[in-house]
Structure 1
């Protein structure tokens, strides 16, 4: 009988609050809802702000998903995680930080240090062209795109390998000379296809 009493006591401790009882928590969390992606991320975020630990919230709401689902206007992905970065937000981030998008590794390092979306998220939310319009960064350089860029910078006479390398190091959105060789097979072949 004592065992049953103990279980009943534990059940009372784990009792999920009613919607009305949860309202103060919902109001408190509302300005921070974008950080409710995972318990781990929430715990890192909430530390210095004096907000409740994820386990406290789980105890009040019943589960971590229930915490997130309390915010009806938060878009949720297939794994019931709020989508933190929609298209408009990614565009705004790129307008502010786009100069750091020079390669996948460079962006991911910068994004990690500044709590921004990673490279994959950028290209999941926006097309290559949308990203190019904002940042002048291209993920993929086709022969046609390379031809247009080369002609833009050297409209009448072809650049030397060395001239192009210098340009690519000092300009954003320029494919490297080695990438041009990979796409065309050789520097000579690029010159032939672009200028003849």
Structure 2
């Protein structure tokens, strides 16, 4: 894990229907702390997000929260973090979380989590970064999404190479191990503005 010092974790500010989501999130934070990896996340003390932070902090880990001003009260920012960065917008939040991290992990969440995940994935598809992107598929939460990706490939909207831009794991130890060995796939050259002209 020497090449991964900080991981951005995208996940829900809600706890979800099944308590396994927050329990597994706590384990994620603990495992990252045990491996000396700093958690970068959305800054809230509630839901899956808060559980990740608590798992790291209660096991002597470092946690950096990034939260927009207008969500500081709504999401109830965590007051025990190593550092809390307050930004103006959701876009700034994603950009800073990206800049601060060597890798990305996606846990269960809603629209916001999906939006964050897809932006990171799209940037990888465009060749803008080669950071590992991991999906922790707790209790099959992302099974339907993965099936949809297969349908995208079947209909020629993405390729098999694009499906290698992310890593899926059912348990965090397995996922983290795979992420440590990740090598970004070679993508076809994108057309530049100069070439279009």
Shared fold by TM > 0.5? Answer: no
Structure number with the higher helix fraction is 1
Instruction: Give 1 or 2 for the bigger CA radius of gyration.
Output: 1
Structure number with the higher strand fraction is 2
Q: TM-score range by the shorter chain?
A: under 0.3
Higher RCO, Cα 8 Å, sep 6+:
2
Tell me the TM-score normalised to structure 2 length. Answer: 0.25
Tell me the TM-score normalised to structure 1 length. Answer: 0.25
